[in-house]
Structure 1
Amino acid sequence: MNVLKIICNICLLIVLFFSARAQGRFKVLDYNVLTGFQKNPAQAAIFVEWVKGIDPDMVAMQELSTFTQDSLERLARRYGHAYAVLLTKERAAPMGITSKYPIVNVQKVTDNMHHGYICARVKHYHVVVTHLSPFSYEKCKEEISNILAWSSTLPKKEKLMIMGDLNAFAATDSLLYQEKGYKRRYGVIRQLLEAGFTDAFAFKKQVKEFSYPTKKYENGVKQYGRLDYIFLNGALKKDCLDIRIVRDQVTDQLSDHYPLLMELSL
């Protein structure tokens, strides 16, 4: 009996250990989902089951075409998120945030933006989700300046992440672009770096990877790129445990972009 009791106690400690570890992490998923999962309910259902397996605390999405606030809330509840916020603008691609936790202090900005951006707070994190102009380098620079102007109003001790499809290129990937013969301009990402933000993927990973296009959509695409980013301010950088571009059988097919998954220590 004593041996059995010891084994039971060890098993309990293991469960508590892994439970504590899980509770000590905050998982963020960022995903351009291609015109609202290609406007296909079957694709959305695949996404729901896939997200359940990843179990993120917050999801940021771009290109939520055809979605309304109500339909985004209903989608979010299917994978366990009770809260959702959607930004829409006429003749632009919607974007949204879903979360296990309340999304508060929400601001939706569309003025002077091609698509717009959402500012919000989730737990103790300030969050900006955006989708920069796909058509103009100069417009992208203007848009990121708008976002940085807003971010400068926050106290430096506040933890802030800026994420989304930035339609921009990082100089840290320049060797890859040069190898493929691509000509790139790096000014948009340089603005974020000069403002004190850290490119989380470049910070945590030695390997260079592209987030666009996916396997399904690579035929006919002439130029590959890392277009999807999560940037962290100085107060949040130290909390970044890991970040990766998620490549699997689902993400190979679901969108033309691969998602980013980041884990933060709480």
Structure 2
Amino acid sequence: MKKVKYGRLAVAGLAIVCVFLVNSCSYAQTATLKVLDYNTMHGFDGNNAIKDKYVNWVENINPDIVNYQEMIGFSQDDLKRFAARYGHNYTVIMNKEAGYDVTHPLAITSRYPIEVIERRIDGMWHGYVLTRIKGIYVMVTHLAPFTLKDRQKDISIIINRLQQLPKGAKVLISGDFNSFSRADKAAYGDKLLQSMQRLEGRLEPKSGTPIVKNRTIYRNNLNNGALDYSVTDSMVKAGFVDAFRQTNKTFKNSVPVKSQLKKNSVLRRVDYIWVNALLSKDIISTDIIHDEVTDVISDHYPVLAEFNIK
């Protein structure tokens, strides 16, 4: 009887081991990669309490890569220390310390090693940072905010650069595009157009200040008097997929955030994660995260995408 009992225990133990091994293999085959994109409103306004709130929040989100815009006030060492607080030991920033004449630094932090391919500001408003992480080409950018002509110039440079990447590569680009998507057209209508018409041609209050490199700027964001979709249309024409719209059928705004809503505010989506056709096959989910933290810590909501990786 004891031999039978021990034999049954051995079989049961072996079965548990087999289940564990199968589950482990299954996990390895279905590992995921989370990418977060965030315009941080002037580096969280340099406010340590807001930074602390963000760190607590992002630890729960647990992204593998974060693409940042407007990391004003962050040195390279600051970024390293900041990222280490949420488990990212690899960082890159494009700022004056790194030799780039920028006013709104772009940055990337990652759980995995970052191969920096290029940082560019020449001929662009905020530029881009191009890297490779986990075999994926990852770019962060921030397009010109005040004129359509400058945005079209930015996106032309970006698309030209992305088209030079190796065929068969997986590519992701994200950031504040300051542009509307034709997929959201039904959500806008006359209210947004009227709002923009009131600003069209006006002198930008930031004109002549260091934050715009002392340039004189007049707002010109309409396309022959109409809402413009040409910037994001260019991305679609170049073969890129709007990750949010691939997984979401309904509109969701990325600006303004709840704490900055005004009586005449119009909800808009200007922050995007774009992927090429090859990487689009790996998308699991995408969201623009609205919660009690993101309602207050920036003037943009963050975008999160999750991918299957092998």
TM-score, length-scaled by structure 2: 0.79
CA distance in 2, matches of 1:81, 1:175: 39
In 2: Cα distance, 1:235 partner to 1:43 partner: 37
- Equivalent position SS for 1:147: helix
Partner of residue 250, structure 1: 293
Report deviation, 1:156.
2.6
Quick check: 1:203 aligned with 2:246? Answer: yes
| Residue 16 of structure 1: how far off its partner (Å) | 3.7
The more displaced of 237-246 and 89-98 is 89-98
- For the Cα contact (< 8 Å) 1:92–1:114, is it kept in 2? no
Kindly indicate whether residue 261 of structure 2 is the aligned counterpart of residue 218 of structure 1. Answer: yes
Deviates more, 1:172-181 or 1:28-37: 172-181
5 Å-filtered alignment, 1:109-188, equals 109-178=120-189, 180-182=191-193, 183-188=226-231
Q: How many residues align?
A: 265
The answer (yes or no) to whether the contact 1:48–1:78 under 8 Å persists in 2 is yes
- Among 52, 58, 63, the alignment partner of 2:59 is 52
> How far did residue 236 of structure 1 move?
1.0
Dislocated runs of 4+, deviation >4 Å: 1-15
State the shift of 1:112 in Å. 0.7
CA deviations on 1:124-182 (whole Å, 9 max, x unpaired) are: 10011000011111100100100111111112310111110000000110011116453
> How much has 1:18 moved relative to structure 2?
8.1
Is this contact kept in 1: 2:184–2:251, CA < 8 A? yes
Structure 1 CA distance for aligned equivalents of residues 167 and 266 of structure 2: 37
1:221 shift after superposition: 6.0
> Using the alignment, how far apart are the partners of 2:232 and 2:81 within structure 1?
35
SS at 1:211 equivalent: coil
Task: Give the CA deviation at 1:39.
Answer: 1.1
Unmatched segments (≥5 aa) in structure 2 = 1-7, 194-225
Distance 1:181-1:83 versus aligned 2 partners, 3 A rule: closer
Change (3 A) 1:101 1:221: farther
Contact 1:213 1:221 in 2 (8 A): no
Distance 1:223 1:17, change over 3 A: same
Q: What CA deviation, in whole Å up to 9, does each residue of 1:209-255 have, x standing for no partner? A: 11001101112663331010011112211111111111111111111
1:231 pairs, out of 265, 274, 288, with 274
Call closer, same or farther: CA 1:11–1:180 in 2, change over 3 Å: farther
Tell me, in whole angstroms, the C-alpha distance in 1 between the residues paired with 2:18 and 2:87.
31
Cα offset, 1:105, TM superposition: 3.4
Please tell me whether residue 79 in structure 1 is matched to residue 90 in structure 2: no
Q: Return 5+ residue gaps in structure 1 as ranges.
A: none
**TM-score, with normalisation over the residues of structure 1?**
0.92
CA RMSD of aligned residues (A): 2.2
Larger radius of gyration: 2
**50 and 162 in structure 1: CA distance in 2 versus 1, 3 angstrom threshold:** same
Work out the CA distance in 2 between the residues paired with 1:221 and 1:10: 61
- How far the C-alpha of 1:17 sits from its partner, in A, is 7.3
Residue identity over aligned pairs, in percent, reads 38
The one-letter code of the counterpart of 1:188 is V
Q: Aligned partners of 1:49, 1:59: CA distance in 2, in Å? A: 15
